[in-house]
Amino acid sequence: MAKQVLTHGVVVGVDGSSCSQVAGRWAAQEAVMRRVPLTAVYTVPPVPTAISPLVSPGGRIPDEILAAQEAEARRILSDAVKLAEEATAGAHRPEINSEMRLGRAVPTLVDLSKTAKMVVVGSRGRSGRHRRLLGSVTTGLIHHAHCPVAVIHDEITAEQRAQAPVLVGIDGSNASRLATEIAFDEAAWRGVELVALHVWSDADMSSVFGVDAAAVQAAADKTLAEALAGWQERYPEVTVHRSIEFEDPARHLLEKSEDAQLVVVGSHGRGGFAGMLLGSVSSAVAQAARVPVIVARQR
């Protein structure tokens, strides 16, 4: 199978909402750190011809509707590019591109994720009413994207937490390896410390004969040490703080995220992080955290 060429760098979905504006600024700064292009994407949803009273009997959409859609798309993309330029002023500015795509947002962004380093989206779009509920686009992406997805909330800016550490959830599974790599990269680029959290579960404890407290602690230490092995040698500039907790990984990640600038989680896991994305830890953290969350999906 031919290897996919990563042409889009960091892709950010924009819709003109305040949350997508924050996501756009964060994505621009991410592109600067990664030294890759930034691509702002606005999707123009198809007009439902079967129900629209403005569509002609032959199914043709009036030119004025198409023109209005295109004008709105160009305005939103122009604003997104300006925001990205402002966010990267004084830095080694990345190549900034914009694309208007006809189609629904989730399949469009999922398709673009095949050739992107990362897809960035706001936690909710223009139709989002409740902060505690992820938007449908965000939910679709963290389930189906082919690259890491960054979910950006609009409550705490990067500047407010610039010196705070990066937090990563580690469970020893293959899935958390990518999360660990991303977390070390992010901490190194930002020049901050890394907090590595492992949550020990009942399932893990059952494998320890007699559930001896010292044995449980030793086993948890071993899991975390093995998961971090080699990474600290590759990133000697990153100071790592290890943390072990017991039960309820989402709660512990959310509590520790209050002292972090970024959280990185795997798309699924085992033990304390079982089902990490599909209805469990990753979605819970992406939904409730007040700081950016990267869900480490891969091709």
DSSP string for residues in 169-198: E--SSHHHHHHHHHHHHHHHHHT--EEEEE
Percent over 70 (pLDDT), the chain: 81
Question: Which CATH number applies to 159-296: 1.10.287.4070, 3.40.190.10, 3.40.50.12370, 3.40.50.10800?
Answer: 3.40.50.12370
Q: For 40-49, 169-178, 205-214, which range has the lowest pLDDT when averaged over its residues?
A: 205-214
Please tell me the predicted confidence (pLDDT) of residue 278: 39
Residues 6 or more apart from 75 whose CB is under 8 A from it? 16
Q: Distance (Å, rounded) from C-alpha 205 to C-alpha 202?
A: 5
CATH entry 3.40.5.10 includes domain 10-152:
no
Asked if residues 116 and 11 have their Cβ atoms less than 8 Å apart, the reply is yes
pLDDT over 70 (residue 83): yes
Q: Distance (Å, rounded) from C-alpha 199 to C-alpha 186?
A: 22
What is the mean predicted confidence (pLDDT) over 69-73?
89
Q: Distance (Å, rounded) from C-alpha 171 to C-alpha 76?
A: 40
Give the β-pairing of 10-13 and 262-266: unpaired
* Strands annotated E in the chain: 10-13, 38-44, 96-102, 118-122, 149-152, 166-169, 194-200, 240-246, 262-266, 293-296
Please tell me the predicted confidence (pLDDT) of residue 267: 82
Residue 256: pLDDT band (50, 70, 90) is: very high
Q: Per DSSP, what are the bridge partners of residue 199? A: 245
Higher pLDDT, 269 or 225: 225
pLDDT over 50 (residue 196): yes
Higher pLDDT, 125 or 39: 39
Higher pLDDT, 8 or 129: 8
Higher pLDDT, 135 or 23: 23
**Highest mean pLDDT (candidates 42-46, 132-136, 272-276):** 42-46
Residue 207: pLDDT band (50, 70, 90) is: low
Where in the chain are all domains bearing CATH 3.40.50.12370? 10-152, 159-296
Q: Which amino acid is at 116?
A: A
Which value, in Å, is the radius of gyration of the alpha carbons in the chain? 21
pLDDT over 60 (residue 201): yes
Q: Distance (Å, rounded) from C-alpha 162 to C-alpha 132?
A: 24
Higher pLDDT, 131 or 108: 108
How many CB atoms are closer than 10 A to CB 41?
A: 24
What is the mean predicted confidence (pLDDT) over 113-133?
76
What is the chain's mean pLDDT, rounded?
A: 84
What is the mean predicted confidence (pLDDT) over 166-172?
91
Higher pLDDT, 279 or 136: 136
What is the mean predicted confidence (pLDDT) over 212-229?
83
What is the mean predicted confidence (pLDDT) over 106-125?
93
Residue 3: pLDDT band (50, 70, 90) is: low
**What does the CA dihedral 14, 251, 281, 158 come to, rounded to 10 degrees?**
30
pLDDT over 70 (residue 129): no
Please tell me the predicted confidence (pLDDT) of residue 217: 81
What is the mean predicted confidence (pLDDT) over 106-121?
96
Asked if residues 154 and 122 have their Cβ atoms less than 8 Å apart, the reply is yes
